Structure 1
Amino acid sequence: MTASFDFDFFVIGAGSGGVRAARIAAGHGAKVGIAEEHRVGGTCVIRGCVPKKLLVIGAHFAEDLVDAARFGWRIEGRHFDWPTLRNNVLADVSRLERAYQATLDSHAVETFHARAELAGPNRVRVGEREVTARHVLVATGARPQVPADVPGAELGITSNEVFHLEALPERIAIVGGGYIANEFAGIFHELGSRVTQLVRGNRLLRGWEPALADRLLQISLGKHIDIRLDCQPTRVERLAGGQLRVALSAGEPLEVDALLWAIGRIPNADGLGLEALGVTRRNRGEIAVDDGSTTNLPWLHAVGDVTDRMQLTPIAIREGHALADRLFGGRHWTVDYANVPSAVFSHPPLASVGMTEPEARERLGGVRIFTADFRPMKNVLAGRDERALYKLVVDAATDRIVGAHLIGPEAPEILQALAIAVKAGLTKAELDSTVALHPTMAEELVLMR
């Protein structure tokens, strides 16, 4: 298959999308190479969703250990040690990195641990070497955004560095209102830091179901997370003692021990040689591709966050899989971006699939809304006032469930099954006909009337 090329398929970026594309292509018999300048595994495995979820799990013990007393458990001498959690998380990340590399090796994918750039049509410069490939895939992901218009912004950290903190900050400011900001606000609060969350807009989680975002705000404020809406940093300075002084657009300056930028992610498409080849890019610098993940050059492709279609790891994996199947397996299919479930691993977590209520009213007109607002059994016995909220959005004309939105303990785990119902186009009547599994939180989904 290689003919006059060194490789049939060369992948730039060994994250989730790139590794999946490489493995599938190799399984179809293609000669595959892959280059990674950092660590195999990419953002999700190395410095994203996997280590962050481990921190979320670790942080949950703070509440669980307090609640344990109401369930008869006496736990003396509770103490949290940040280096222990940090080091164990980083060790597990290294384990996963080895597993990803083993997957590539077992499929005879040649790995280049070096930066790769496009050197010309069907040509890639990787380290000091230049190789040719029939098809090239760019799967370089995205990077955390740091504001260019805030003096001293470089004194803050991003989600890339947060997993390597030497010590847990006593006071931390987290800038942003999206999922990363809310997740780290919950983590640091539960681990004992005093958290101030600075949000440029007037609400959390823009684009999410408003009822869930409002409930998270209410719960977070009740936990004494200092959330300041319509407020953002205007200047950051290092004080003599090492602390940071953050000037704000509203209110008095803030003094903290750490500042975390969580204001979005930018596609990693710069410095790859795209301009010289005339590759089309869009407004945030993302690589423009068609439904099959091919650019305006027929030999060049892109998947994952660098295309900015939907920044989710499972989407990048599917995009890479579909591309490899089409190029080397004779199987033509495309990723369906409708009704993709997503979650925010905050405290408590949110999970959502399908249309929000405002979206459904705009697109469908007539909708019916069903909600369950309740205290989970564990919270009742623990003496916590924190309430869960489940919400279903139903098309009034067809009775189809077009949206499902949950906030509460284990919401993402529960929603995964409900996402199947939304994707399959099941009706509210079919949900109602399902016998409740009692006593569970999930039974509320089939008891709404």
Structure 2
Amino acid sequence: MTFNYDLFVIGAGPGGLAAAKKAASYGARVAIAEKEAIGGTCVNRGCVPKKLIVQAADLALQNQMALSYGWSDCETYFDWTKFLNSVHQHIETIHHSYFEQLQKAGVELIRGDGTLRDAHTVEINQSEYTADKILIAVGGYPIKPNIPGIEYAITSREMFHLPYLPQRLAIIGGGYIGVEFASMMNAFGCEVTVIDQDETILSGFDDDIRIGVQEGLSKRRIRFIGNSTAKQIKYSEERLLLTTTGDSRKTIAADTILVATGRAPNTKNLRLENAGVEVGEKGAIQVDEYSRTTAENIFAVGDCTNRLQLTPVARAEGIAFVNTVFGKKPQKVDYEQVPSAVFARPEAASVGMTEAKAREKFGASVKCYCDRFQPLLSQLTDKNEQATIKIVVEGESERVLGAHMVGEHAADIIQSLAVAIRKGITKQDLDETIGIHPTTAEEFLLMSP
């Protein structure tokens, strides 16, 4: 059978874009469909605009510290609307760059919502396109709890389009999205309350990291309500009233309520059943180690699958799929040493095993080195900022299983350590490495039991 394309990609997020361009480099005829802006959640409603807001918030925090460093006091004003316009203009330049990259690679971009007619046919805007291989890379979407008044709440998608900064912000969910927005908005002067179903935020991270971030944010007067969930939201007298249930039964007044309780795969309208593609919990596409679905010629990568929901992971999965199928070089993605970060202030980052996971797997042979200290940056101020560094090691060799950090530049430091940990470094390797003084990263080389 003759097909229109060798590969048809549904979804132009990081995974889909990487796969499309890589497949084209192997000489494949490739098309990619996207119903919204190119770049997916990361570029348009996630990593990129979020990091720009983090950087704007950092300037506010630095301004607060400036007096301690000898700068005279001066009046400042933050124009939220002007800032957001700059963010969206920058995102437009990224869209243009991606479009040019696709054109240069010879990838055809088709605008519209793709659905599967059968295992080799994609339908978009009442037109049909056939392909030998199909890659699904449609990402995910933020979900909301089913409680009365939830229509008054917004998700991270709408946070980047707020017409004004709220004076009072309530956040439902203490995962990395909720925590990052709590930190940012607090720096801009918002009164922030975070409601989480656990006692401590950032479930899944190492316990010392979770405690370190929550303590740091609490010092900035962010309020945490733990072991609790949202019960209902009411609109009253030009304000929102959020009622909680659980350990704390409170009513919180807010101008804006952000729901950050997780994401679900964006697969509901793909008509996957037409092609024999099976899905699991919350609509996640079931794939094997080579990103193959239950349909022989259909593959899936990124947040629409049952694997790690991180932009670099989606990109790596897209490249590995193409190398396997079009490059004839079977490639799997290693999920054991994937670094991750929380761009709050204090910042947190991790790679490898948490202490709990390590003890679960290796038992009594696990040892941890952990240190807390005040970074040089805050030592001239009246703020008792604390950094936390921790490594998890195993056995007589003390092979490093994981590294975790709370403090300035945590993401960059852990990113560098990730390479070394993948190569099997030991605690002795760290001890014998000479650091750069005075830096925070140096502390990883000076740790004692």
Q: Given the two structures, how large is their TM-score scaled by the length of structure 2?
A: 0.97
The aligned length equals 445
Q: By how many angstroms is 1:22 displaced?
A: 0.3
Deviation digits for residues 137-193 of structure 1 (CA, Å, limit 9, x no counterpart): 110001001112x01112111011100000000111001011001000001100111
Match of 2:244 in 1: 248
Give the whole-Å Cα distance in 2 for the aligned partners of 1:422 and 1:56. 28
Instruction: Quote how far apart the aligned CAs of 1:120 are.
Output: 1.1
Q: Is the 8 A contact 1:65 1:75 kept in 2?
A: no
Q: Residue 437 of structure 1 aligns to which amino acid in structure 2?
A: I
Residue 281 in structure 1 maps to residue 295 in structure 2: no
Note if 1:21 corresponds to 2:22: no
- How far apart in 1 are the matches of 2:383 and 2:149? 41
SS at match of 1:437: coil
1:199 alignment partner in structure 2: 196
Provide Cα deviations, 1:215-256, integer angstroms capped at 9, x if missing partner: 111111121111100222111122242x21212213332221
Asked if the contact 2:287–2:306 (Cα under 8 Å) also holds between the matched residues in 1, the reply is no
Q: 1:182 aligns with which of 165, 179, 182?
A: 179
Alpha carbons of 1:121 and 1:362: their partners in 2 closer, same or farther (altered >3 Å)?
Answer: closer
Q: C-alpha separation between the residues in 2 aligned to 1:229 and 1:198?
A: 6
Q: 1:47-105 deviations in whole A, cap 9, x for unaligned?
A: 00111011111111111011111111224111111112211111111111111111111
Aligned to 1:371: 370
> Partner of 1:385 in structure 2?
384
2:18 aligned partner, one-letter code: R
Match of 1:116 among 97, 114, 117: 114
Per-residue CA deviations over 1:260-295 (Å, capped at 9, x if unaligned) read: 000001011111011233311112210001111111
- Paired with 1:414 and 1:384, the residues of 2 have a C-alpha distance of 23
Matches within 5 A, 1:26-425: 26-148=24-146, 150-241=147-238, 243-249=239-245, 250-365=248-363, 366-425=365-424
Structure 2: give runs of 5+ residues left out of the alignment: none
| Aligned partners of 2:14 and 2:39 also within 8 Å | yes
In structure 1, distance between residues paired with 2:95 and 2:159? 19
Identity of aligned residues (%): 40
Following superposition, the deviation at residue 126 of structure 1 comes to: 1.1
Task: Letter of the 1:248 partner, please give it.
Answer: T
Separation in 1, partners of 2:435, 2:295: 53
- Whichever residue aligns with residue 202 of structure 1, its letter is E
Counterpart of 1:423, as a letter, is R
CA distance in 1, matches of 2:126, 2:96: 25
Partner Cα separation in structure 1 for residue 73 and residue 6 of structure 2: 60
Asked whether the equivalents of residues 119 and 274 of structure 2 are also in contact (C-alpha less than 8 Å), the reply is no
2:438 is matched with: 439
- Which amino acid is 1:154 matched to? E
Greater shift in the superposed pair: 197-206 or 260-269 = 197-206
CA contact (8 A) 1:146 1:154 kept: no
Q: Report the CA distance between 1:41 and its aligned residue.
A: 0.4
Range moving further from structure 2, 126-135 or 247-256 = 247-256
Q: In structure 1, what residue type is equivalent to 2:298?
A: L
What amino acid sits opposite 2:191 in the alignment?
A: R
Letter in 1 for 2:50: K
Residue 376 of structure 1 deviates from its aligned partner by: 0.7
Q: Residues of 2 paired with 1:316 and 1:75: CA distance?
A: 46
Which amino acid in the other structure matches residue 132 of structure 1? T
Residue 7 (structure 1) aligns with: 5
CA contact (8 A) 1:46 1:97 kept: no
Distance 2:306 2:175 in 1: 16
Q: CA RMSD in A?
A: 1.1
